[in-house]
């Protein structure tokens, strides 16, 4: 099993995603002789998982069933153990695009945190690229190394435990892109410039507060970065609902136009009006925004090394 290479069959030692529903799933490390408890009953790894194909429907001991999914960076983001606040797929997708990442790219990241963005970056730059990720906290750095090894991507990432603001990334003039998610990114701009290739490298800084953004932009200007711009991603979700509206009274002109051939009692026209409309009303499908939406997460500041 690898997060960057798909495998058909579940093997001993794999990390798999137990899918109970869109709002209920969790990761499990497959081990011979181990069992996993779910609300639908027990899953026995030796008989229910090992040797089965990813995507299989597995019946639990109480008669309920779950799906076993192959892990992806997106699924891992939704299910990983939180050691820090993490980036989610909405911001990750924009970061990947704006940093112009592709297979073979060299990326520097700080800090590693829970590894949400790291897994997406590794998948993007594989199979010939590399991620250099720096984490200040020793235990988080060691845990990240362990997860990368278990997920079959350790050959694509180098984890370093040090202070990026003081010691940098440990590489010079090779990175195509740098990503910063630290409390004081303006202190690491000089090290980011040193890590980037001679010309055209891209940098991104994620900060929750606009005061951090202001200081970071000033530092970027000081070190000669160009095309500096800041944005935030606000995701608005729409639900499909059946809406009922009263038919407007347009007077005699509307009655004169009633001979156009439309017959609401004709079964073939029921799909237009909807099912069982109220008298004097018409029903139709519409996209309705949620009453509440996810608000501000952070600002993304991008720039180019000139």
116 annotated as belonging to a binding site for a ligand: yes
286 annotated as belonging to a binding site for a ligand: no
Query: Tokens 């800041």, residue?
Result: 230
Q: What angle do CA 141, 146, 149 make, to 5 degrees?
A: 125
Contacts of 114 (CB under 8 A, 6+ apart): 80, 81, 82, 83, 84, 86, 140
181 annotated as belonging to a binding site for a ligand: yes
Q: Hey, is 271 helix, strand or coil?
A: helix
Strands 24-29 and 15-21: antiparallel
Query: Tokens 């010309």, residue?
Result: 199
Both tokens assigned to 257: 């136009």
Q: Hey, is 117 helix, strand or coil?
A: helix
Q: How far is CA 78 from CA 19, 94, 153, 279, in A?
A: 12, 17, 19, 46
| 223 vs 305: CA distance, rounded Å | 9
What is the dihedral sign for C-alpha 35, 37, 38, 39? positive
Query: Tokens 């160009």, residue?
Result: 226
Q: Are 54 and 48 in contact (CB under 8 A)?
A: no
173 annotated as belonging to a binding site for a ligand: no
Give the helix/strand (H/E) hosting 288.
strand 281-289
Could you list the residues known to form a binding site, using ranges. 114-117, 135, 181
Could you list the residues known to form a binding site for S-adenosyl-L-methionine, using ranges. 114-117, 135, 181
């Amino acid at each position: 099993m690898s997060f960057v290479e798909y495998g058909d069959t579940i093997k001993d030692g794999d990390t798999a995603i137990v899918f109970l529903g869109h709002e209920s799933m969790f990761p499990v490390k497959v081990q011979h002789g181990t069992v996993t408890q779910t609300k639908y009953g027990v899953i026995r790894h030796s008989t229910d998982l090992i040797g089965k194909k990813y995507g299989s429907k597995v019946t639990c001991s109480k008669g309920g069933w779950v799906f076993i999914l192959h892990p992806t960076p997106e699924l891992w983001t939704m299910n990983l153990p939180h050691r820090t606040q993490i980036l989610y797929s909405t911001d990750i997708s924009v970061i990947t695009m704006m940093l112009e990442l592709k297979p073979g790219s060299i990326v520097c990241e700080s800090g590693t945190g829970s590894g949400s963005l790291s897994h997406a970056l590794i998948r993007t730059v594989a199979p010939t690229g590399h991620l250099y990720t720096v984490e200040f906290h020793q235990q988080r750095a060691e845990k990240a190394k362990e997860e990368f090894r278990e997920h079959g991507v350790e050959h694509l990432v180098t984890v370093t435990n040090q202070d990026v603001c003081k010691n940098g990334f440990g590489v010079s003039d090779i990175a195509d892109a740098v990503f910063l998610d630290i409390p004081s990114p303006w202190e690491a701009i000089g090290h980011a410039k040193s890590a980037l290739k001679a010309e055209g490298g891209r940098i991104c800084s994620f900060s929750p507060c606009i005061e951090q953004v202001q200081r970071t932009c000033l530092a970027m200007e000081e070190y000669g970065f160009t095309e500096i711009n800041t944005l935030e991603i606000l995701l608005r979700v729409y639900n499909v609902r059946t809406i009922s509206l009263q038919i407007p009274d347009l007077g005699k002109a509307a009655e004169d136009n009633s001979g156009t051939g439309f017959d609401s009692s004709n079964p073939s026209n029921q799909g237009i009006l909807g099912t069982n409309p109220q008298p004097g009303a018409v029903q139709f499908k519409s996209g309705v925004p949620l009453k509440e939406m996810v608000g501000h997460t952070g600002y993304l500041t991008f720039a180019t090394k000139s």
